[in-house]
Amino acid sequence: METQTQTITYTASLDVLEPIRELLTQTGQEVGLNKKQTYGLCLAVDEIATNVIRHGYDEAGITDGKFDLIIEKNENQLAVTIVDEGRPFNPLEHNLPTEEDLSMPLEERPIGGLGVMMARQSVDEFNYEFSENHNKNIFIVKFSNEIKE
């Protein structure tokens, strides 16, 4: 099977999170991901898309922002890439909560970095590239790792 690619452009608004999850759920079912894999992909993309919309565009004062969602599937894996022109941000350089942070009482713990941590842990591979003034957040789910439920 050759790589099949689909690109959809979204406006940078939190309203698009739900349609994106619906599309990824449908795609996950089509390629035979299990429920845990599909949910993990939705969660990871949701967290990073939220950061792109909130921090990459809104807080940077960029209105009318847009981003692309590229879905690529082949016989081995499903890859989803968010491509945006917002403020550069590399989630891989972001400080993740430490074990100590995660074991603190809720009312005392620092809350930053949770979304990025969840995104990175919910897919098989997470990558980030910055090229030609675009952030590219890449999420990969491998079919060979499929856990039968």
Instruction: Please give the Cα distance from 80 to 5 (Å, whole number).
Output: 10
- Binding map of other proteins across residues 79-118, x = CB under 8 A, - = no contact: ------------------x----xx-xxx-x-x--xx-xx
Q: Which residues contact 115 (CB under 8 A, 6 or more apart)?
A: 47, 48, 50, 51
- Closest by CA to 50, choosing from 106, 119, 123, 98, is 119
Q: Which of residues 28-87 bind other proteins (CB under 8 A)?
A: 35-36, 39-40, 42-43, 46-47, 50, 54
Output 71 or 96, the one with its CB closest to other proteins.
96
CA 85 to chain centre: 16
Structure tokens at 4: 């099949």
Q: Which spans of this chain sit near other proteins (rule: CB under 8 A)?
A: 14-15, 17-18, 21, 35-36, 39-40, 42-43, 46-47, 50, 54, 97, 102-103, 105-107, 109, 111, 114-115, 117-118, 121
